[in-house]
Amino acid sequence: MTTHDLIIIGSGSGNSLLTPDYDDWHVALVEDGPLGGTCLNRGCIPSKMLVHTADRARIAATSDRFGIDTSFAGADWPAIRDRIFGRIDPIAASGEVYREQADNVDLFKTHGRFVGHKDLAVDDQVISADTIVLAAGAHVHVPAIPGLADVDFHTSDTIMRADELPARTTIIGGGFVGVEMGHVLAALGSEVTMLVRRAGLVTDEDPEVSRRITAAYGRRLDLRLGTSLVEVEQRGDEVVVITGDGEVVGDALLVATGRTPNGRDLGVERTGVELDGEGYVVVDDHGRTTADGIWALGDISSPQQLKHKANADARLVAHNIVHPEDLRSLDLGPVPHAVFGDPQVASVGMTEPEARAAGIDCAIVVHDYASTAYGWAMEDTSSIVKLLADRDTHLLVGAHVIGPQASTLIQQLIQGMRFGQTVEQLARDQWWIHPALPEVVEQALLAFDW
């Protein structure tokens, strides 16, 4: 058995744990995939590069209403794919070389699994450490649909590296992965059918947001809601999904039904680490698990499977391990998120049903982009800002944006909520540039009627 000072399992946000504070530590870094983890290699970065490309295609296809003679004539998928991964893969490769050359780091390019308390099997050896960080993320969830195991299907791990753009794509799932990839594939020329079990897309969002994005996708592609899946079959080069309403035939199938944390795959039950009912590692406010000396961060311990959350966790855990006398906790306010579909969605804080359930007496504003100068210039007819504020305190408890630049427009509201600014302070105690798009946020704030 080899003993280290620190074992880190996972090289996504876990890789950033190694600040100069750890230069004198003997560290084992365990990673069974490319360095950089999900976000860099098969998640948020390549997908957003694809989204940006798809946005350009949509602009080309929909600019005639502005008097511009443009059209979309097709996409060179291999060129798009190779541009993206031609940039990403060298980053992962150079990260691997960097860690291999580090004097104090042993890189294990394999899957690790606990065989005892703080004893981790890696290939044909066992390593141990007094301090261990679980940063192994999550993996795609594949539902138990009869026949699925016998057909060729994609997940978010593989679809972005496909050899060609499918002529017809069937997507199972209406969450953020399905919404984002549905936008990408449809914009670049695939005929997309989305099969969604629920009554709308991204139904964890505020109902007004879910309703609007569902309507938008219903206009763009073949959206089938409330769908029950019976079986999947491979018929030659085609994949057939049999539903309660008939058959859907496609050239490719994308399964986008969520992600599952990797705690059980590591065998953490052998360490004394507790998992919750959904399989997430249980941590306290400082990032500590229920086993002494074992910490966790990111998607393995957070149902908010977001890179910015994982990065914040990593900074927290990195500090707390070396400063046990000065333990910190994350106190950054509600965790925001965005969905990079078309339209974009961004949200922070409570939805309207959540606020009602919490007993908050809410004032609610729904404000159209079209009411502002820039929204009017954009010919926008469907985008909104929805704000929820406590009538007693005049503090925002939730903010939801659906439309162009939503992920950027919401940032000022995130800041206002974090620092306890009232609606009036946000609206009146700063300048808002006219006729910039953020005026829609200003006008929404000014529209509250107490």
| CA gap 109, 96 in Å, rounded | 9
Q: Is 434 tagged catalytic?
A: yes
CB under 8 Å to 241, separation ≥6 — which residues? 170, 172, 195, 229, 231, 232, 247, 248, 250, 253
**What long-range pairs does 361-366 form, CB within 8 A, spacing at least 24?**
361/390, 361/391, 361/392, 362/388, 362/389, 362/390, 362/391, 362/397, 363/388, 363/389, 363/390, 363/391, 363/448, 363/449, 363/450, 364/388, 364/389, 365/389, 365/444, 365/445, 365/447, 365/448, 366/208
Cα separation, 223 vs 354, in Å, equals 27
- Placement of tokens 């078309």 in the chain: 342
The one catalytic residue among 52, 141, 323, 434:
434
Q: Verify cis geometry, omega within 30 degrees of 0, for the bond prior to 78.
A: no
Active site residues: 434
